[in-house]
Each structure stands twice: as C-alpha cells, then as structure tokens.
Structure 1
Amino acid sequence: MCEHHNHKTINRRQALKSGIAVAAAAASATTLAAKNASAEDDPYADPAKPALPPSDMELDLSRAALVVTDPQIDFLSPDGVTWAVVGASVERNNTVENIERLFKAAKASDLTVAVSPHYYYPTDKGWRFEGALEKLMHKIGMFDRKGALTTEGFENSGADWMPQYKQYINDGKTIVTSPHKLYGNESNDLALQLRKNGVDQIILAGMSANLCTESHMRELLEQGFEIAVIKDATAAAMLPEGDGYLAALTNFRYMANAVWTTDEVVQKIDEAG
C-alpha cells in the first residue's frame, strides 16, 4: 500500500477517534453482554413463541437475485472508518465470511447478482441540510471518491470493495448499480436492473442492517419484490442511541417475506440448483 494511502488512512482514523470511537467505548458493555449471552437470553435469538405467521417463501432461482448493499471497506474492514462501532456486530455475525459464502453460492448457481454501493463525490459535500448520520459520514470521509467519472485513489480506499469480494464483483457479470446516496435504492437503478433481468425475488444481504439494508428491503417490498433477508450476512453499529442490528432484526421479522441464515440460503441455492 502506498505512502499516500497510509497517510490518508491515518487521517481517517484520527477523524474517527474524535467522533464515533467515543460512542463505541460507551457501548462496549452492551457489546460484551451480547457476545457472552446464553441462548435463552440472547437479545438476537428468534422468539420462542412467535406471534407472526411463519414464512412460506420458496426460492426460485429462475427469478431470483442476490443483492448486496455496501460490501465496502469502510463498513467491513478494521481499516474502515466505522469499525469502532460496527466491528463487534460484524464479528459476532461472521458477516464478512457469510457475505462471501453468498457470493460464492450465487455464482456457482449462475444466479443474478447485484451490488448497490454507497459513494460520495465532492459535489455531495455541498448539501444544505443533513440528517445525523449524513453529517457523520461526511465528517469522517466515509465512502469518499474523487469524482463520478474517475477511479483515481479508489483502489483500496474505504469506498472500495472488500478484497475477497473482488473476484465475484469484478467478473463482468455482476450488476453494479449507480450509487445510493442515503440509505435506500430510490436514488439508483437497482430496481430497473432487476426488472430488466426478470427478477422479482431477492436474497438480501450487506451493510448496514438498520440503514441501507433495511431501507433497500422497504423500498423493494413497496415495488413488489419478494425478499428474504439473510440475518447473519449483515451487521450494524452499536451506540448509546441504540443497537442498530437489534432494531433491524425486529423490522426484518415484521416485514420481510423470509428471514434466513447463510447456512439456510446456501443449502436452498444448492438444492434448487
């Protein structure tokens, strides 16, 4: 890695320390408790007596696609600017490895694969009003790129793909949509790309659970897609304001057509193939 990139990474980490790292320390006790919880009091465990009807979704590879939101360094690597607050959740769910397992299974079955990335260009820094997380993302340089028509400085930056995913994403077959700018896919071409490929059933994974992943789920449901969220192929920040993963998991159960684990969906893909 070049000297210039190392200097940039250090600056990004310094910016992080001045902001969300403090919040991460405040949430550490909650994180530790969740990691050490027994099965019966695990806050993420499925309810023993669910009130909602069980899923009846059946995977049909002929009309399905794997959709992955934000499989990028800033969310999933210890070198990313959000690791201090998402790292514990990523590690607990084995998120990085589970996303790769989904990519591998989808490619082996010739399943349509789409990635919806998050990028910010210099022109996005001029927004006149922002939500709390928009302010934070711009402050710490999250997903920053030098421009829409250049890849200068992109390789191995926080906006780049996780290295282990590049073989799947850069194979010339994966759909890489235009970037979403906040959380959902309303601002990009994901729905168009899926429709044009005859897709109406989605296996949804990626980062982060209560933000981009959940927002994609909501928008795609509204557009008539059938969606299974893969609950251990996502993760979220844990802050004093709340546990993002727990919030998302609740909404996944309420709204998605199915909530599966990576093991379950890989088996379903293998059997259907």
Structure 2
Amino acid sequence: MLPTQPGPLGTTPALLIIDPQYDFLDPDGAVYCPCSSVDSTAEVVENIRSLVAAARRADLPVIWTKESHRDDRSDYGAELLSVERDHTLAGTEGEQFLSTFNSEQDLPPAEYLVRKRRYNCFHNTDLDHLLSTFDIDTLVLAGVTTNVCVHYTAQGAHERDYVFRVVEECTAGTSQSLHDAALEMLTYLQPSGVQPLESVTDALADYDGNETVKRVKRTGSVVDLEK
C-alpha cells in the first residue's frame, strides 16, 4: 500500500544510485553529463557521496546500477538509433564506477549491484525482487542521466506503484534544457517526485532504519540463520 503522505522518503525507502560510471561522470566520458541544478558535475558527485553516507547511517538498502553493453553491440537494440555515442562497453574504463565510489566488488552489506542493458533500471533486471525483499514503497533516485536513465527509471517505478523521490542536486543531464525538462516532467508525474537534497538528508537523519537491512548488517543474511 502506498503511503498517503509520503513526504521526502515515504515509509520504507531504498536508495538507487543510477550509473555512476566514467562514461557519464568524467569529462572525457562518451556521454558526459555536464548539466545539473548545481555548479558542476563534480559537485553532483560529491552530493551523491553525501547522500549515500546518509543512507548508510540510516540503514537503508542501497542499490547501485551499472549500464553495460557487449563490445560487439549485440545487445544495443534500439539504442543503435540513439544520438548517444558508444558507451559503457564491457571491459572499458568507461563502464567502471568512478573511483570515488565503492567498486562493485567492494560494496558494504545491504548494498547491491544491478546490471542493466536498457535505460529503465527495472527492465529485465532483479530490481523488483530486491525491493520486495526489503518491503520498499519508495525509491530515492540519484545519478545519471537526468533526462534518460533517471527519468525512465522514475517512470518505471511509477508504473509499478512506487513513490519516487529524485534528489535534484544529485542528478546531471546531457544538456541543461533536457535536465530541466526531465525534472519538470517528473514533477508532473508525481508532484513531490523531485526533492532537494537537504530535505532528503534531514528525513534520513530521523529515519528509524529498515529492519531487514539491520539484520543483514548484523548477521550477513536477510533471514535469521540461528532459527
């Protein structure tokens, strides 16, 4: 059941960090995202780091996504028609997370990697299964790009009856007009769907934590192995 007054976090939130990879966040990346609601992409990265730290303290499940394509482009599908250059090819530096974030092999307990081939993080992934495990009703979204993967994932969440909360200062787009338009469209879809970072971190400071996350951090499993 959706919360009737979800506020910045809903009732049982999860944090989803979308594609914090070199190809999107490094100036030399194939699809660099230079445009945001703050002064620079570097500031967006620092804001994401602050948001992740707050989510960890609040015992939220944290889910990271990584877009990855085979180097022969056999899984590109309709993306072959896109204006975007080749990007996030498997085994390239562009596919990797920025070094300022944990690597996929070094994620803390109750943090998970979802690999994807398409913009919408729900498409042919196990994201819905993870959210069900932690009884999630709200997705807090950060990452890139505002006008593509963030936008389409928020819409995918909406279609699956989740609350979404896109953290404005933690997103960046391929152009200023597209970044701004994506935020406007998401606000149309859910009128409180775009939230300022301060509101989200303040709410996280007061959040009691997800009990399943606490169990994973304490025992290493979502179930009580001693029973």
The two structures share one fold, judged by TM-score above 0.5: yes
Counterpart for residue 168 of structure 2: 231
- Distance (Å, rounded) in 2 between the aligned partners of 1:170 and 1:235: 23
Q: How does 1:257-268 map to 2 (within 5 A)?
A: 257-268=192-203
Q: How does 1:196-235 map to 2 (within 5 A)?
A: 196-235=133-172
Count of matched residue pairs: 201
Shift of the 73–272 alpha-carbon distance from structure 1 to 2, 3 Å rule, reads same
Q: TM-score w.r.t. structure 1 length?
A: 0.65
Per-residue CA deviations over 1:105-162 (Å, capped at 9, x if unaligned) read 00111111111221111353465654542x6332xxx1010xxxxxxx45xx111111
TM-superposed CA distance for 1:61, in Å, is 7.6
- Distance (Å, rounded) in 2 between the aligned partners of 1:198 and 1:105: 20
- Distance (Å, rounded) in 1 between the aligned partners of 2:35 and 2:8: 31
Structure 1 or 2: larger helix share? 1
Per-residue CA deviations over 1:179-230 (Å, capped at 9, x if unaligned) read 2324452222212211122111111111000100010000111101111111
**Contact 1:59-1:272 within 8 A present in 2 as well:** no
**Contact 1:67-1:114 within 8 A present in 2 as well:** yes
Shift of the 172–211 alpha-carbon distance from structure 1 to 2, 3 Å rule, reads same
Counterpart for residue 96 of structure 1: 45
Counterpart for residue 6 of structure 1: none
Q: Tell me the C-alpha RMSD between the 2 structures.
A: 2.6
4+ runs of 1 displaced by more than 3 Å? 59-62, 88-91, 123-132
- Distance (Å, rounded) in 2 between the aligned partners of 1:109 and 1:227: 18
Shift of the 127–56 alpha-carbon distance from structure 1 to 2, 3 Å rule, reads closer
Per-residue CA deviations over 1:17-70 (Å, capped at 9, x if unaligned) read xxxxxxxxxxxxxxxxxxxxxxxxxxxxxxxxxxxxxx9423568621001111
Shift of the 180–128 alpha-carbon distance from structure 1 to 2, 3 Å rule, reads closer
Q: TM-score w.r.t. structure 2 length?
A: 0.77
Structure 1 or 2: larger strand share? 2
- Distance (Å, rounded) in 2 between the aligned partners of 1:75 and 1:122: 18
**Comparing 189-198 with 207-216, which one deviates more in the overlay?**
189-198
Unaligned 5+ residue runs, structure 1?
A: 1-54, 146-152
- Distance (Å, rounded) in 2 between the aligned partners of 1:121 and 1:194: 27
Shift of the 162–222 alpha-carbon distance from structure 1 to 2, 3 Å rule, reads same
Counterpart for residue 164 of structure 1: 100
Counterpart for residue 41 of structure 1: none
**Contact 1:229-1:259 within 8 A present in 2 as well:** yes
Counterpart for residue 76 of structure 1: 25
Confirm or deny that 1:269 pairs with 2:204.
yes
Unaligned 5+ residue runs, structure 2?
A: 209-227
Greater RCO (Cα-Cα under 8 Å, separation 6 or more): 2
Counterpart for residue 245 of structure 1: 179
Identity of aligned residues (%): 22
- Distance (Å, rounded) in 2 between the aligned partners of 1:261 and 1:90: 10
**Contact 2:51-2:201 within 8 A present in 1 as well:** yes
- Distance (Å, rounded) in 2 between the aligned partners of 1:82 and 1:199: 31
CA radius of gyration, larger in = 1
